[in-house]
Amino acid sequence: MSFTLAIVGRPNVGKSTLFNRLVGKRLALVDDQPGVTRDLREGEARLGDLRFTVIDTAGLEEATDESLQGRMRKLTERAVGMADACLFLIDARVGVLPADEILADILRRKSAHVILAANKAEGAAADAGVIEAFALGLGDPVRISAEHGEGMGDLYAALAPLV
């Protein structure tokens, strides 16, 4: 049996970059066409021998009348409701921001199965942010670079027990 993973996190942490890496370029190109963008994007992910469904909370970056916080909450709750587990991304170069803390609270309140990942973790500039991520109380962060494909073995090890 397979599983569904929701990639959650505040805007700009690298959710879509990771989604595209997991799903591959073909679907990403289709979805990037104007008018095709939806609030939640779903794709079939491959990571080593793992096959799973992945959801990207993609609508956060679009400007609307609603506050970012309200939109983040609504979309994240929807994605979590559809998923068996969520991969909560923070930006290790920026560190933990209030918006990350708010999301961590939402995930805790929903009793979501959370795998924490510190993205943009290529290079030493990310070390402080990775340490901050421990303080979220959501377990040890998996150190990854969605853009450079680093840490994918550790991500595999974190996801494999979900099968």
Q: Please give the annotated binding residues for GTP, written as ranges.
A: 9-16, 56-60, 119-122
Residues 41-80 that bind ligand GDP (CB under 6 A): 61
The beta strand positions in 48-138, using DSSP E, are 50-57, 85-91, 114-119
Residues 7-36 that bind Mg ion (CB under 5 A): 15-16
Residue closer to ligand GDP (CB basis): 2 or 69: 69
Site map 4..43 versus ligand GDP, x via CB under 6 A: -----x-xxxxxxx--------------------------
Residue nearest to ligand GDP as judged by C-beta position: 14
Q: Known binding site: residues?
A: 9-16, 56-60, 119-122
Which whole-number Å values give the CA distances from 6 to 64, 65, 109, 146, in the listed order? 22, 25, 16, 15
**What are the structure tokens assigned to 76, written together?**
């994240």
Could you tell me if residue 114 is left (phi over 0), alpha (psi between -120 and 50 degrees) or otherwise beta? beta
Instruction: Give the integer Cα–Cα distance in Å for 84 and 13.
Output: 21
Quote the least distance from Cβ 134 to ligand GDP, whole Å.
19
Return the number of other C-beta atoms located less than 10 Å from residue 27's C-beta. Answer: 15
Quote the least distance from Cβ 128 to ligand GDP, whole Å.
15
**Binding stretches for ligand GDP (CB under 6 A):** 9, 11-17, 61, 119-120, 122, 145-148
